Structures are given as structure tokens and as C-alpha cells.
Structure 1
Amino acid sequence: MEMQRMTVLLLPGQGAQRERMAAALLGRDGAFTEAVEEFLAALPTGAELREAWLRPAPNPALDDALLTQPLLFAVGYGLGRVVSGWGGAERPLLLGHSVGELAAATLAGVMDAAEVAALMADRAEVLADAPAGGMLGVSASPDELRPYCDGTVVVGAVNGPRQTVLAGPERELAEAGERIAADGFTVRPLRSGYGFHSPSMASAAQRQAHALAGARLRPPTGSLVSSRTARPVTAAEAVRPDFWADQLQCPVLYWPALRALLDTYGEQPGLVLLDASPDRSLSAPARRHPAVRGGQSVVVPLLAQPEGEDFGAARAAHGAAVAPRAYAAAAASAPSTWAISAAGVFSPSSSSSEMVTG
């Protein structure tokens, strides 16, 4: 008998924000509205966030990470609650990019929305003291960018085979970007005023760990994959405040995490990849994977339009899938297959499951 596919919910992070993303669902979809309102009510700046979110394009305010970080969480958390309420398969396997991982952790029961709201309020204060920085999307592999990384400017995210983000302080990143462009690579600044996922965020990460120390962190009750380690989150990791706080300074291994899922389960039983990003960027690299090209796995945009509309196709695909229990049991102890060098460049590693950032 043919095995049913497993559902994976992909949740977006910094850089994927778009004007009015999923806004059409507010007040129309009960699960989405309840989740978003719960978070906005707990957030001290909830009213201002709502106003900025619903403002039509162009909206330069979305370049401000102090706004976009809680907004991306709210939308991701709301969409996750929608999918969780569909029935059929049990809760999907969760993979979040950057701040999307906090939404995934909340959906998996590690923390609750009020605790994340408190964390986001603290993050606003922390980032106010952080150095100016930025992030550059480069059409190149991490290895090709090795000559441009010096430990200050580092690989901040691996989003695809040739979709890499560099991060670091403003001046140093600008100089590196000029060199990279002069050498013929396509470079695109991302909407961020900070060098997220780089050593410039070390002090901010330490302060966030202190803020999380009072939260009641719990082991995940669902299948949760980390884009920090590219493997499932363990119970021991989930209850450590620094594991979540260090996201600010640690690189995002999104593509290694997604590729591992596709390599392992993409053909048998196959995956349903629900892309919750408004620009469909989370599933873009997966579309070139043999399991998707061969039809064993499928990609389904959760937001057929950026503002949100009928979930018919996504709901049908999810309803035909099964719960990812086999994945959670088989992969819980699987080591990461990537490591980071002192200069901030990733490379495959068969012997280390830790990321060295020194």
C-alpha cells in the first residue's frame, strides 16, 4: 500500500515580510484571528503593530526589524493555528526560518504567545542598543563567499544551494558587498537594519537569554526542526533559554534543514510542504529537489495571494497526509551535517553536530 505524505509547515523570517501579508484573514478566519489577537493583546505595542501591518504598500515601516519581528511571529503563529485546526493528519512537522522558529516553537508548545510577546518587548530594548548592521542576499554558495568572510562579516543564512545571506556591521558589510558585486555576483540588500545572525548580535543574544530565564520553557509536544542546528529540537535544547536567544547571533541553516527532510523523506513517504511565506520564498529551493521534480513531494503555497485567501488546495493536500511521528522517532538523535568555521563559512561535516563560532 502506498504511504501517505507527511506535512511540513514552513514559517517565514526576517526579509520575507510584505505589506498586508495575510491581512485578509483577520476577522474572516476564526483560528487565525484568535491567535493573532491573542498575541497583539499581550504585546505592549500591539495597537501600533496592527496599524502598520494593515497599511497598504508602499510601507517603509516594514524595513524596521522592531516592527517586522513581532509581525512575522504573529502571522506565522496565526497560520500555524489554522493548519493545526484542519484535522486529518495530526499537527504538521514545523520548520521556521529565523524568527519563524519562535512561531514554530510556540505552536509546538515550547512557549506560549504571551511569553513571546514579553520576549519581543525586551528585544525592542535590546536592539535599540545594538550596532547598526545589515544583511545581503547573494546568489552564491557559502563556499564561494569564503574569501569575503572575515569573522565580522559572516554567512548569516543558507536559504538554498546558491541563496546565501551575509550579515554583519554596516560599514564592513557594505565594503564586502562592493567587492562581491565587483566580482560578478548578484547582491541584494535585505530589509533589515541589523546584522542578525552574526557576531554583532552577541550582546543582544546574551540579554535575550536573561529575559527568557523567567519563561516556563517546555519540551516540544510536536515535531519541531531547528533551522539553527538543521535537526530536530531535543527536549534538553527546548528548555534552555540560550538556545532560543542565540538565534540572534547564530546562522540560519534553513536549506540544510529542509534538504535533510527532502533527502530522507522526500521520496518515501513524500512530503507536503506548506509554504507560509507571502512571497513563496521558503519553498523556492525545494522546487528544484529531485523529490519535488519527480512528484513524490509537493509544494503548496499556504497564501495563494500575499494577503491570504481560500486555503482549499493547502487543506486538501494536508488532509491526505499523515502525522510525522515516524520522522520524530527516527531523526531525534540525528546529528547536524553542517558546521561553521571561525570565519563564518559553512561546510559539510560528518563528525560534528556543533556550530563553532569562535
Structure 2
Amino acid sequence: MFPGTGAQHARMAAGLYGREPVFTDAVDAVLDPLGRAGRAARADWLTREPAPPLDADVRAAPLLFAVDYAMGRLVESWGVRPAAYLGHSMGECVAAVLAGVFSLSDAVMLLWERVRAQRAVPPGGMLAVAAGAAELAAYLGDGVVVGAVNAPRHTVLSGPERALRAVERRLASDGRTSRRLATRTPYHSPALDPVARKTEVLLRTVGLHPPALPLYSAYLARPVRPEDALSTEFWAAQPTAPVLFRPTLERLLGDGDRMLVEAGPGRSLTVLARGHRAVRSGHSAVLSTLPARSLGPEEDRRAVRAARERLAAEGLLGGEPGHSGVLPVDLSVP
């Protein structure tokens, strides 16, 4: 599982850079093609006082993509053979690269062009609310929409800054718990329609392929079919469409017992998956590969060692028999 916008934090997985060759090479493969922007993002990632902060798209987008992709490559380098991929928001693009839909170079180019186009989007944000989507109908409007459905009582609202702040105040006065996500962009809302239109033009210039392995889409709440993978409209619309993570997880776990592996920073998807009845009952399991927050280089490395040991104990390394492995692409997800 690959987390999306909001999962990023300062020095996420930085303890692996320069120590894990597969991880290091994969990060460089994402950032090096971006030239000066990639070098600046890497420098901010490796420092203790990043500037601009990681809620700025010019830093958050390339670094989150790089860490997700590098963690996916690292886990697979151990001999894990995924049965399927699942991503949350941007994480779905990472999943699509590993599933063979996009080349890495095309995906990085599209990512950066989206970042550039988003500069024209009015300021906004995303708000995680401890409530079901149906409960929040009265708070919608004035550009504020449901941006993600993550769990039965975990919904993300997205919209322009002024309207979202008004909703935040109303929720507080009504006694509802909410939390702003680390982004200044109203992802998964109509505010990004202009970005989607520009992206579709770019998508017509890249090669698209059916997934070589099952790819579950959190926009469709089902596996991606060949016609979906080849659709420029499908990929272009993702910044504006709601993330249906919970329904997609339902479908994924309904299709069979799984060992879910969160390959990316934080443990937001792990927390969401632990609440699912299939995991609570023990029929499926979930494993994070990194700490919930930055605790220093050694803790990054300890978390990776522990994840590898768990996968080895389950018989999932080197093609050994065991549960089907799942590497899934916004709370720290949206």
C-alpha cells in the first residue's frame, strides 16, 4: 500500500538514504530528472530545517513520490512478489509505475507538470474529520466537497481556504473532531479541474499499458481493467476525484486473505487497515515498513529490518509459499 498527500513529514525515511543501495538508487531515479528542483528537494529532505516546509507541493510531491517508490522497490528487492498493488491519492501513481502502467520517467514528468499547474490553483486545503461521509452533508458547499472516504468514521473534506476554515469552525462548534492535513492544495476537489485538463493533454504523449499485476484503484473501488489503464481521462481526473480508500480496501480484502504492506512514510494506511474486520479477525494482516514519524536514522533502519524479518517469518521472501503479499498510492492520509 502506498500512502498519499498528507503522509509526508520532515526526514521521512532519510535514515535509509546512502545506507540502503536499492532505496538510494530509486530515490535518485525520481529526483535526478528534475534537475535543480530535484536537488533542492533532496537537500531539504536531508536537512533538519526544510525550507519551504513539506506542505508545499514543490517539496511534498516529489519527495513523497520518491519515498513511496523507493520503499516499494526496496521491499520487492527482498524477493517479495506482490499479489496486487493499492495506492492512496498520489500513491496510486506510484502503484501504477510498479504495476507497469507508466514508465517511471513518464510518471515523474506528469507529477512535476501537475505541481507546476497547481501554482495557479487558489489556496485551499484538506480537513480530516472523525465522521462518516453521510454525516457531513450539511457542511458541504461553497467549493467544499468530500475528498476521501478512508474509514467508516474517517472522512476528508477538501476545498478553498476561506470556505474550509468556515467549515472547520462549524465542526468545532458542533463538537466534531477534525484535523488539517499537511497540504495547501485542495486535492480531490473541482478546484483542480484546470490541472486535470492540462494533464490529459500531456497524457496523450506518454505510453500507457495494462497492469502486469493486479492494481486496485481507490477511485474506482475495484481492480483497474485494461481499458481503465489505457484511458487518459481516467488518469487525468485523479486530482479532482474523491479517494474511496475504504470501499477499495473492502473489495481487496473481500477478494482474498492478504498480508498488507504499507510501503511509504508514516503508518496512516496501516492504522486504517487495522480497523477492518478481516484484519481484526486475523484472516488478513498488515505491516508497516517505516516509523509513524521521524525518530532518527537508526529507527528508520530498525523499522525496515523488523519488516523484513516479519515477511521472512511469514514465508514471503524469495517466492516462498505463504499469504499473498500486497503492496499498495490522501491521514496522514487523506
Using structure 1 for the length normalisation, give the TM-score: 0.82
**Closer, same or farther: CA 175–326 of 1 in aligned 2, 3 Å:** closer
Aligned length: 313
Secondary structure class of the residue paired with 1:28? coil
CA RMSD of superposed structures (Å)? 2.2
Q: How far 1:291 moved relative to its partner?
A: 2.1
Structure 1 residue 147, shift from structure 2 partner: 1.1
Equivalent residue, structure 2, for 1:72: 64
Distance in 2 separating the partners of 1:290 and 1:33: 36
- Residues 147-198 of structure 1: per-residue CA shift (max 9 Å, x gap): 1112721100112221111001111212122212211111111111111000
Alpha-carbon contact 1:23-1:53 (below 8 Å) kept: yes
Structure 2: distance between partners of 1:196 and 1:326 = 30
CA contact (8 A) 1:108 1:224 kept: yes
Is it true that 1:174 corresponds to 2:165 in the alignment? Answer: yes
Q: Is the 8 A contact 2:100 2:209 kept in 1?
A: yes
Where does residue 288 of structure 2 map in the other structure? 301
**1:126 Cα deviation from its structure 2 partner:** 0.4
Q: Within 5 Å, which residues of 2 pair with 1:17-32?
A: 17-32=8-23
Deviation at 1:217, TM superposition (A): 1.2
Q: Does 1:61 align with 2:53?
A: yes
How much does 1:263 deviate?
Answer: 3.5
AA partner of residue 106 (structure 2): E
Amino acid at match of 1:251: P
How far 1:31 moved relative to its partner? 1.4
Which 4+ stretches in 1 moved above 6 angstroms? 323-327
Q: Which residue does the alignment assign to 2:332?
A: none
Once the two structures are TM-superposed, the CA of residue 304 in structure 1 deviates from its matched residue by 4.1
Which residue does the alignment assign to 1:289? 276
**Contact 2:71 2:264 (C-alpha < 8 Å) held by counterparts:** no
Q: Is the 8 A contact 1:62 1:68 kept in 2?
A: yes
Name the counterpart of 1:47.
39
Q: Is the 8 A contact 2:216 2:224 kept in 1?
A: yes
Q: Which amino acid aligns with 1:116?
A: A
CA–CA separation in structure 2 for the residues paired with 1:37 and 1:60: 20
Map 1:214-253 → 2, pairs under 5 A: 214-253=205-244
Deviation at 1:215?
A: 0.8
2:38 and 2:56 mapped to 1: Cα distance? Answer: 15
Q: Distance in 2 between matches of 1:325 and 1:13?
A: 23
Cross-structure match for 2:29: 38
CA–CA distance in structure 1, aligned partners of residues 322 and 77 of structure 2: 14
Code of the aligned partner of 1:153: V
Say which of 191, 197, 214 aligns to 1:206: 197
Deviations 1:282-321 (A, max 9, x none): 1112212222222222221111464521433423444524
Aligned-pair CA distance for 1:326: 12
Determine helix, strand or coil for the equivalent of 1:144. Answer: helix
- The question of 1:275 aligning with 2:262 is answered yes
What percent of counterpart residues are identical? 42
| TM-fit CA distance, 1:325 | 8.4
Q: Which amino acid aligns with 1:34?
A: D
- Structure 1, residues 229-253: CA drift from partner, whole Å, max 9, x if none? 1111111111222211211100011
Contact kept, 8 Å, 1:27 with 1:33, in 2: the verdict is: yes
The whole-number CA distance in structure 2 between the counterparts of 1:325 and 1:137 is 31
Partner of 1:344: none
Shift of 1:145: 0.5
Alignment partner, residue 305 of structure 2: 312
Return the alpha-carbon distance in structure 2 between the equivalents of residues 180 and 277 of structure 1.
31
Q: What's 1:347 paired with?
A: none
CA distance in 1, matches of 2:116, 2:50: 27
Tell me if the contact between 1:223 and 1:325 (Cα under 8 Å) persists in the aligned partners. Answer: no
Higher relative contact order (CA 8 A, sep 6+): 2
Structure 1 CA distance for aligned equivalents of residues 33 and 210 of structure 2: 23
Give the AA of the match of 1:81.
R
Change (3 A) 1:241 1:325: farther
Query: What code does the residue aligned with 2:78 have?
Result: W
Structure 1 position 74, deviation (Å): 0.6
